[in-house]
Amino acid sequence: MAPGGRRVAVTGLGIVSPCGTGVDAFWEGLCGAPPPGERRVHDFDPTAVFSNAKEARRADRVTQLALAAANQAREQAGDITGDPLRHGVLIATGIGGIGTLEEQITIYHEKGARRVSPFLVPMMMPNAPSATVSMRWGWQGPCQTVSTACAAGTHAIVDAAMWIASGRCDVVAAGGTEAAMTPVGTAGFTNMTAMSSRNLSQPFAAERDGFVIAEGAAVLVLEAWDVAEARGATILAEVLGGASTADAHHITAPAPGGRGAFSCMEIALAASGIQPSAIRQVNAHGTSTPLNDAAEAEALEKLFGLPGPPVTSVKGITGHSLGAAGAMEAIAVVESMRRRVIPPTVGTTEVDPDLPAIDLVMGAPRPWEPGPTISNSFGFGGHNGSLVLTSV
């Protein structure tokens, strides 16, 4: 991560997504057909995650999903011991508990102020997912929330890895969560024409017309390499580095030519100590929006040349889960390395001829020799995030 810094291992993965809950089901979903209907997490029972039904009701869905994913990741990571002051939590969200907020606003207008729930604030606050995980696990180190729109999940993992590399933490639960498919939230995205009018996600395709909104959560357990080795943990992947930049251009549109995305990827590679030629896969942000896909493709051409390394966007299957997307895609990268195949960009049959001719993986999973992979996330506000992972 930095000169002289500690190596950062990935030792646990947990995911709750529209195409599958649990890593195996998630992977199977990535290599299949898009789930029918809305990209929601179906058949999710929050009472299985919390101690009782009352406790579950006092947590917004965004927190419920986060805790479910975090518990999976910790179970896979195994027996984590040590000083709880050196165990951190960093879970991102783009929106937070908007479901609770909308519900309570309706109650306020229909029934009056006195009927508004006293749990409104702790349920809607964006830091509730991180706080809930830290309290459930007794982890007393840094406990923070990143809220940088659609770049948040990637930023959380990059920042958490820096906590470990710098020596502040030995273990961090890092990821993202989102449950913004509410009536008002969906209407807002629809009316700003960010979402597909056909409910189709087609990253980098000529006919792309917007993203398909989704919900879900993904959490990774990151651990100092020496600590993981000492306790005999199974190391799944290594975080080499990452970066964050700002376009400083427009509240929703990416900078022309993808200059912010390019600089972010360039800095992430420098932080990882590798050259662009070492990258063997790009997990693209690839939202299926006209401007974002064009900017990212231009940035990829500038950094890697053409055709460049294989590129994929899993959003053709998962939809766009906003602040959780980067964490979901980090898990897709780790599993791609472990299974030695790159999942296809479902919904796209050819790259838009007006875009640079990137090597987009389409049609079927592509076998590959795992190696350094960069995963991109770009968010409203001009937030850019890039994460570099490698196989072990």
Query: Could you list the active site residues?
Result: 150, 285, 320
Assess contact for 165 and 8: CB atoms under 8 A.
yes
Q: Which amino acid is at 86?
A: R
- In angstroms, the CA 296 to CA 287 distance is 10
- CB neighbours (10 Å) of residue 257? 14
Tokens of 222: 């990151």
**Residues counted in the chain:** 392
* Per-residue H/E/C for the chain: CCCCCCCEEEEEEEEEECCEECHHHHHHHHCCCCCCCCECCCCCCHHHCCCCHHHHHCCCHHHHHHHHHHHHHHHHHCCCCCCHHHEEEEEECCCCCHHHHHHHHHHHHHHCHHHCCCCHHHHHCCCHHHHHHHHHHCCCCCEECCCCHHHHHHHHHHHHHHHHHCCCCCEEEEEEEECCCCHHHHHHHHHCCCECCCCCCCCCCCCCCCECEECEEEEEEEEEHHHHHHCCCCCCEEEEEEEEEECCCCCCCCCHHHHHHHHHHHHHHHHHCCCHHHCCEEECCCCCCHHHHHHHHHHHHHHHCCCCCCEECCHHHHCECHHHHHHHHHHHHHHHHHHCEECCCCCCCCCCCCCCCCCECCCCCEECCCCCEEEEEEECCCEEEEEEEECC
- In angstroms, the CA 157 to CA 240 distance is 11
